[in-house]
A and B are shown apart, each in its own frame.
Chain A
Amino acid sequence: MKNEGLFNYLLRLADTNLILGHRLSEWCGHAPYLEEDIAMANIALDMIGQANALFQYAAKTEAKGRTEDDLAYMRNEREFVNTLLSEQPNGDFAMTIVRQFLSDVFDFHFYESLKSSKDEMLSALAVKGHKEVTYHLRHTTAWMERLGDGTEESHSRLQKALNELWCYTDDLFELNEGDKRLVKEGIAVDPASIQNAWIKTVDDVLAKAKLVKPAGVWQQKGSREGIHSEHLGFLLAEMQHLHRAYPQAQW
């Protein structure tokens, strides 16, 4: 396929948005209080909306007659290339907030850089995504600071979540051979180019939140090649079963 590199790159972005958006949607009706329930559903919808646009563009790029629904609901675990961080379970509210915060910081700097992509569609999606994630980051930063520097219990839960999720942070910055070619062509973002900005933003917030950055943690990687943690399969089973049981269903 002529545009295989671009297609695969779009899947990386779309899958991560879809999977994290789905994770957040699992909170719907279960969040600590009504306002936060709506806040998380809002963020979920932003991410799923972004995934939808990216899948449409991927389907068009692939040009094999597949639709965005085919890409979201008819691929199996090993074909998904979302980040490991995005698929981690919700856990308690602290886990969800830390996972979202680490991801928001990445997306914030990522979209900022993707705005200058030579691919017009990606650049336009980056402009939209950057506006959305600016708010997401404001929301998760507020919770990081308040819970981290809150009560003894909220602090210890946040620190525990940070310790557990830190091993998935290097995986955010992975890229494959196809991505490298797209970076050279000015289409994709080189994740290494935003790593310092990511570290600085994370450090600033952790300092304000009185949290300690985990050091010397072994890093789990592999998502860029479709190697996932055990959690993704269960998520896909739940997310995909309706579409697979009733492929022609309309609503």
Chain B
Amino acid sequence: MAQDNQGMLWEVFIQTKPGQPHRHCGSVHGHDRELALQNARDVYTRRNEGTNLWVVPSNLIVASSPEDIGPFFEPANDKVYRHPTFYTIPEGITHM
């Protein structure tokens, strides 16, 4: 292929039901916002996956890098008291 003319890359987030958080499900190409949204609809919601869609330009995502694992995440390893495991969850509470 001489030139990549598929448009820029967008990250796709799907909300499966109203009230649920949008979850990242993959990426699509698209030349602008509208086409990116349509492409996300066509590629990721063909089997009833969603009720709402977000597309975000991939280059606007700020990501931590692999070498950040130590300073970013390991200090949390030995802080067991941060987990709310000492509480009992009343019946009927979901999504905990």
Chain A residues close to B by CB (< 8 Å): 32-36, 38-39, 42, 135, 138-139, 142, 146
Contact = CB atoms under 8 A, between A and B. Distances in A.
Interface string B70-83: 00000000000000
Interface of B: 5-6, 28-32, 34-35, 38-39, 41-43, 46
Contacts of B42: 35, 38-39, 42
Contacts of B38: 39, 138-139, 142
B43 A35 contact: yes
Contacts of A32: 6
Contacts of A35: 6, 28-30, 39, 42-43
Contacts of A146: 31-32, 35
Can you list the 3 inter-chain pairs with the closest CB atoms, starting with the nearest? A35-B39, A39-B42, A33-B6
A34 B43 CA distance: 9
A108 to B, nearest CB: 17
Contacts of A138: 38
Nearest to A145: B34
Nearest to A43: B42
A33 B43 contact: no
A34 B34 contact: no
Nearest to A139: B38
A35 B29 CA distance: 7
29 contacts: A32-B6, A33-B5, A33-B29, A34-B6, A34-B29, A34-B43, A35-B6, A35-B29, A35-B30, A35-B39, A35-B42, A35-B43, A36-B39, A38-B42, A38-B43, A39-B38, A39-B39, A39-B42, A42-B42, A42-B46, A135-B41, A138-B38, A139-B38, A142-B34, A142-B35, A142-B38, A146-B31, A146-B32, A146-B35
A146 B5 CA distance: 14
B81 to A, nearest CB: 47
